[in-house]
Amino acid sequence: MQWEVVIGLEVHAQLSTESKIFSGASTAFGAAPNAQACAVDIALPGVLPVLNRGAVECAIKFGLAVGAKVNRRSVFSRKNYFYPDLPKGYQISQFDLPVVSGGELVIFVDGAEKMVRLTRAHLEEDAGKSLHEDFHGKTGIDLNRAGTPLLEIVSEPDMRSSLEAVAYAKELHSLVRYLDICDGNMQEGSFRCDANVSVRRPGAPLGTRREIKNLNSFRFLQQAIEYEIQWQIDTLESGGKIHQATVLFDSDKGETRAMRSKEEAHDYRYFPDPDLLPLEISGEWMAEVRSRLPELPQAKRARYISAFGLSAYDAGVLTSSKELAAYFEEVAEIYPEPKACANWVMGEISGWLNKAGIDIHDCPISSRALAGLLIRIGDGTISGKIAKEVFEAMWNGEGGADDVIESRGFKQISDTGALEKIVDEIIEGNPSQVADYRAGRDKLFAFFVGQAMKATKGQANPAQLSEILKKKLAG
C-alpha cells in the first residue's frame, strides 16, 4: 500500500540589516566574541528594546513579494525558555499577530509548476551561540548573534516529496536574495531550514509529524527528509507508532535522531511583550516599499521567455540567482543574441564555475569579456570549437578574446584562396577517397572536412570550407 508524504518547512532568514533588531549593535559576521553584544543584547537590567525600521522593511518587502497580507498592526510577544545563550530568559518573537500572513510561492519540480501556500512570516531575534568544546568542562557563550533580526517564514504542509521541499527552499532562498533582505549564506547560518515531516495513507488525516531542526544545506535537507520518511514508514509498517518529536540530522551518519524530549520544553508561555507597543505599518509606507521592489524571479522568467525567446527551462536556470541573471543580461545587452548568450552562460560559464567551486561574482571572465568572445564567434573570426579554447585561455587570465585570438594565432581562415589551396592539396593527396566519393560514397565528405580541419588546426571557417569542398569534389 502507498504512503503519502507531507512536508512543511520553517525557514529562518537572517535579515541583512546593519544593526540588530532591538539594539544599535552591529550584525557583521565574524567579530571577536561578544564584541558586538551591547547592553540590550546581553539583557542588563533596565535596558529597553527599540525596533529597527530596516528589519520591518525587510518583512514588508517579503510580504509584498509573496502576495501575502502585510498586517497593518502586529504584536511582539515573549517566548519564554531558559538557555544560557538567551540572556533575557525569553526570545522576543511574534505569536498570534505576525507581521505577514498568508502568501504563496510557485516552485518547479520536474518541469511542472506547483504552488506552495505560506502560513505566515514573523519577525524575531536570534539567540547567541554556545560553544561546548575546550573550556575545561564549561560552555562558552558568545552573544554576538543575540538580537540579530530573523524573519521566520512558515509554509503550509503542501509539499509531498523531498524534491518539492528542496525546490521550495531554493525558490525561497533565491527570492530573499533578489529582495536583498538576506545574504542567503547557509554556511554562516543566514538561511536555516526546519522540516516538519509526516506520512499517511492517501486521503487519511495527517500523520504525527517529527520536526528536523537546523538544516543548513539543500543537500542535507534532502537527505534528512528522505531518511526520516523511510524511518517513519518502516516504523509504521512494523506496527510502531510515531511520537511527535524534534530530531536532529547527523550529516556524517546520514541519520535523523530524536533529541531528548523534555515534556515541558514546548510550554513557552507566550504573552505580549510589555516593553514593545504594537507595530503599525501605514499604507504609505507599504506603497513606498512596493515602489522600490526589484523585478522578482517569476516576472523575470516570464520576460526571458517572451522578450528573449528562451525556453522555460533556460529562463528558470538563468533566473535562479539574481547575480547570474544580471550577468546574463549584461552579456545579452552587448551581444543581442539571447539564445547564444544563454547557452554560454549556462554551459561554459556555469560549468567552469562549478568545477572551480566559485560564484558568478568571482567569475574571472566578466560579462563584457564573454560578450567580446561571442562577438568574435558571430562575426566568423573564430569557430565555436576554437571559441572553447579561447574561453579556457580567458578563464586562465590570458586576456580578452581578441588578445587570445591574436597571441595564439586562432584566427579562423576565411580567406577563400587559402582554403582552396588546402582543399586542392587534400584532393591531390587522397586520390582513392576522391574516386570513391565521386562514385557515390557521400559519407566520405566528413573525411575531407576532417582532413581540412587537421590541416588548418581547426581554424577553417566551416561553412566556407564545406562550400569549397563540395565545389571541388564535384570535379
Which stretches of the chain bind another protein, using CB under 8 A? 17-19, 23-26, 32-39, 42, 44, 50-56, 73, 75, 80, 82-84, 97, 130-132, 135, 137-143, 259-260, 264, 267, 269, 272, 274, 276-280
Closest residue by Cα to residue 377 from 408, 341, 351, 348? 341
10 Å CB burial of residue 121 (0-12, 13-18, 19+) is buried
Nearer to another protein, 141 or 455 (CB): 141
Nearer to another protein by C-beta: 233 or 277? 277
User: CB-wise, 73 or 290, nearer to another protein?
Assistant: 73
Q: Under a CB-based contact definition with an 8 Å cutoff, are residues 6 and 161 in contact?
A: no
Q: Taking the complex as a whole, how short is the minimal distance between the CB of residue 217 and another protein, in angstroms?
A: 21
- Check residue 387 and report its DSSP letter: H
Shortest separation between residue 137's beta carbon and another protein, angstroms: 6
Chain centre distance of CA 341? 21
State the helix-helix crossing angle for 297-308 and 162-178, rounded to 10 degrees.
90
Output the CA torsion 260→261→267→272 (10° steps): 50
The smaller minimum CB distance to another protein, of residues 276 and 334, is found at 276
- The DSSP element (H or E) to which 129 belongs, if any, is strand 129-131
Report the C-alpha gap between 249 and 229 in whole angstroms.
13
Distance CA 475, CA 473 (A): 5
C-alpha torsion angle, residues 212, 218, 219, 224 (rounded to 10): 10
Three-state secondary-structure class, residue 382: coil
Shortest CB 131 distance to another protein, Å:
7
Q: Give least dist CB 101 to another protein, A.
A: 16
Tell me the closest approach of the beta carbon of residue 179 to another protein, in angstroms.
15
The least distance separating another protein from the CB of residue 283, rounded to whole angstroms, comes to 14
CA distance 345 to 324: 8
Please tell me the distance from the alpha carbon of residue 33 to that of residue 130, in angstroms, as a whole number: 11
341, 345, 349, 375, 392 from 338: Cα distances, Å: 5, 10, 15, 12, 22
Minimum gap (Å) between residue 277 Cβ and another protein: 4
Q: What is the helix (H) or strand (E) element at residue 112, kind and residue range? A: strand 112-125
* Of 34 and 414, CB closest to another protein: 34
Query: Smaller CB distance to another protein: residue 52 or 451?
Result: 52
Of residues 141 and 434, the one with the C-beta less far from another protein: 141
Q: Give least dist CB 150 to another protein, A.
A: 15
CA distance 363 to 370: 11
Cell 562575426 belongs to residue: 379
Distance of CA 256 to the CA centre of its chain: 25
Nearer to another protein, 39 or 204 (CB): 39
Sign of the CA dihedral with 277 first, then 282, 286, and 289 last = negative
Rounded Cα–Cα distance for residues 145 and 148 (Å): 6
Cβ proximity to another protein: between 38 and 199 the closer is 38
Q: How far is the CB of 295 from another protein (least distance, A)?
A: 24
H/E stretch holding 178: helix 162-178
Q: Look at residues 425, 458, 426 and name the one whose alpha carbon lies nearest to residue 445.
A: 426
Q: Which is nearer to another protein, 56 or 455 (CB)?
A: 56
CA distance 297 to 107: 11
Nearest distance from C-beta of residue 32 to another protein, angstroms = 6
Question: At its nearest, how many Å lie between another protein and the CB of residue 206?
Answer: 27
Pick 50 or 326: Cβ nearer another protein: 50
